[in-house]
Amino acid sequence: MKPHHLAYCFGLAAILLWSTVATAFKIALGFFTPLQLVFVATVTSIVTLGALVLVQGKRHLIARQFMRSPWLYLQTGLLNPFLYYLVLFKAYDLLPAQQALALNYTWAILLPLLAVPLLGQTLRKSDLIAAVTAYIGVVIIATGGELAGLEFEQPVGVLLALASTVLWCLYWIVNTKDKGDAVVSLLLSFCISLPFISLALALTQPLPSFSLEALAAGIYVGLFEMGITFVLWLLALKNAKSASQLSTLVFLTPLLSMALIALILKEQIVTATFVGMGFILSALALQQLLPKLLLKISSKQAQVKR
């Protein structure tokens, strides 16, 4: 199979698995508190990623990468999985899955905005237009379409869902400084995070349930949100001619997720969610397509002047 065909196969596999996790979060949170779920999923991911690193013959990289940047991995470990997933799971615990999913999806819009002060990057007009468009969608979803009164049904859940996007963006911004193997880096982040998660759990809550049904739900989240799916996406990027080849696949995730939420969780997808998600997806499209369009226009104008 040609590399670009492999890229689409790996990419589609990742998208399909990621599409199931919003539903899996809600099911797992029926058995666990958010912190307990973070613990079970993190342990699962460590076992999975550790086995993968061993199979790939990269065990020697673990100590080397950690000794080179211990402070970096402490930061990434605290951000992801500890703080990010704790906040995200709490948002899913408070909100309908459809709302939490849509609000969390705005991280891609926030990332270039935070990259301006934190990485010194230039803010493009397309990023501003996309941000305004996306956050109109956020307000529509958060208010249930009642824009006149601006009354939020679950303000804490909405704030947590939006806070999760900030934490995820901070993780990726810090991660830009990491020059090591991506899978080893993720394993190090999870290993460093586990003692903090365990301590927080020991001090505040009982150990999670170890019933077969509960463990299956927690392990599923660890495998297909945090572990295997990330590796599939890395393989897709590695085999793709360019990252833009796979960008359109990302738009399938929320649509498939919504379908599963309706079918499995029996949530009625309300009009406000459809409209708000439409704004968010439009913003993502603008973020990718508008710079190319503006470049074409400016090049044509330059040719006319000549």
DSSP assignment of 121-188, as one string? PPPPHHHHHHHHHHHHHHHHHHTTT-TTTT--SSHHHHHHHHHHHHHHHHHHHHHTT--S-HHHHHHH
Stretch 30-42: mean pLDDT = 95
Q: 133 pLDDT exceeds 70?
A: yes
Least confident segment among 19-23, 61-65, 232-236, 302-306: 302-306
pLDDT at 149 over 60: no
pLDDT tens sequence across 217-234: 999 999 998 888 888 877
For residue 200 the two structure tokens come to: 């927080």
Q: How confident is the model at residue 170 (pLDDT cuts 50, 70, 90)?
A: very high
Q: Residue 302: pLDDT band by 50, 70, 90 thresholds?
A: low
Determine the pLDDT at residue 243: 61
Condensed to tens digits (0 to 9), the pLDDT of residues 187-207 reads 999 999 999 999 999 999 887
The whole-angstrom separation of Cα 181 and Cα 167 is: 22
C-alpha dist (Å) from residue 44 to 34, 50, 220: 15, 10, 9
pTM (predicted TM-score):
0.88
Residue 235 has pLDDT above 90, yes or no: no
Average pLDDT on 63-79 reads 95
Does 161 have pLDDT greater than 90?
A: yes
Tens-digit pLDDT profile for residues 47-69 = 999 999 999 999 999 999 999 99
* Distance in Å from the first CA to the final CA of the chain: 46
More confident site: 179 or 300: 179
Q: Could you give the count of Cα atoms lying within 13 Å of 178 in the half-sphere of its Cβ? A: 26
Residue 108 has pLDDT above 90, yes or no: no
Phi-psi region of 232 (alpha: psi -120 to 50; beta: other; left: phi over 0): alpha
Please determine, for residue 37, whether its predicted confidence score (pLDDT) is greater than 90.
yes
